[in-house]
Structure 1
Amino acid sequence: MPTPDFVLDLRRFVGTRPLPLVGVTAVVLREGQVLLGRRSDNGHLTPVTGIVDPGEEPADAAVRETLEEADVVCRVERLAWVHQIPRVTYPNGDQSDYLDLTFRCTWVSGDPYPADGEMTEVGWYDVDALPELELPDMRRRIEFALRDEHAAWFEGGL
């Protein structure tokens, strides 16, 4: 997965220290199915995910990442879940703290395929018969997006 240029620029100043970043997850739904892809970096089956660029609206990032990774156009319906992902330490020692914003999205157009190489396969999966997801957190993201509630769930709090 290519690291965004702005992250590489920041790394020149902070080295491998923890870098706070905002990530998005696009849970794209179409007629009882959810869009999932197998990540090329670790082989895990996940919804579309990505990093918000500086100055970019998070919902726009979810739409952009879906188009870049799967060549699918989607529309964001609502924010479903906000949570802090435990610190990630990469093999090169870089550390990142991701605040993930999970969005419920609706398919607009496009037949999914691994457009930019970040996924090795992309397709539609029945929400009632999802395959085993290697990361339980990804299943939770889908579950929050499938809820009929219109308010977003915020993890933690006092």
Structure 2
Amino acid sequence: MSAPDFIRTLREKIGHDPLWLPAVTAVVLRDSTDDSPWAVPEVLLVKRADNGAWTPVTGICEPGENPDATAVREVKEETGLDVRMDALLGVGAMSPVVHANGDQATYMSIALRLSVIGDDAPVVGDEENVEAGWFSVARMPVTNPQFRMMVADAAAQRKHPSGFTPRTGFHKRN
């Protein structure tokens, strides 16, 4: 997996020490392809090359890059799809990560709901993922509870936008 140039430069100076990094989680939804009256939206997911986990598209913000631009760029790079930002879902720290090369990081993720502009057939666009596809929100293979919560929030916000309050932290609401 390729790290942005600014991360490689930082790592030359600090080694594997923990980094606190701004990132996005791009939750892309579309209407269900199921005609049932109980159909729920579908979510775009990628299967990560590094750990085999299914997740929404994620990515690190480049210095000076706004989160919506990061989300649009990352979805295009990873799946070939053109998207637009529809809503802010929340902002919060993800669980700390130790990458395969020993690099430690914690990501402050800005979760955004997006929708596809035009063709919605995803492809694997780079080496970060091995598969990309659409899944029913009710039957998605995502196991990380933080990502599951973001997808649930995206579906809730899409259905009832005026009643939705973005999260501050990806933990259960009290």
State the TM-score, normalizing by the size of structure 2.
0.83
Q: Unaligned 5+ residue runs, structure 2?
A: 32-40, 158-162
Alignment of 1:108-119 (within 5 A): 108-110=117-119, 111-119=121-129
- Greater percentage in strand: 1
Alignment of 1:36-51 (within 5 A): 36-51=45-60
In 1, Cα distance between the equivalents of 2:96 and 2:142? 20
- 1:151 CA displacement: 3.2
SS of 1:109's equivalent?
coil
Q: Match for 2:17: what amino acid?
A: R
In 2, Cα distance between the equivalents of 1:93 and 1:122? 26
- 1:103 CA displacement: 0.3
Q: Match for 2:101: what amino acid?
A: N
| Structure possessing the higher radius of gyration over alpha carbons | 2
State the TM-score, normalizing by the size of structure 1.
0.91
- 1:150 CA displacement: 4.3
Instruction: Select 1:137's aligned residue among 136, 146, 153.
Output: 146
Q: In angstroms, what is the RMSD of aligned CA positions? A: 1.5
Alignment of 1:91-130 (within 5 A): 91-110=100-119, 111-127=121-137, 129-130=138-139
In 1, Cα distance between the equivalents of 2:49 and 2:100? 16
In 2, Cα distance between the equivalents of 1:86 and 1:37? 19
State the partner residue of 1:14. Answer: 14
Task: Determine if contact 1:78/1:150 at 8 Å carries over to the other structure.
Answer: no
- 1:45 CA displacement: 0.8
State the partner residue of 2:77. Answer: 68
State the partner residue of 2:166. Answer: 152
SS of 1:141's equivalent?
helix
Q: Match for 1:6: what amino acid?
A: F
Q: Unaligned 5+ residue runs, structure 1?
A: none
**What number of residue pairs does the alignment pair up?**
155
In 2, Cα distance between the equivalents of 1:96 and 1:136? 18
State the partner residue of 1:3. Answer: 3
Moved over 6 A (4+): none
Task: Determine if contact 1:58/1:101 at 8 Å carries over to the other structure.
Answer: yes
Q: Match for 1:14: what amino acid?
A: I
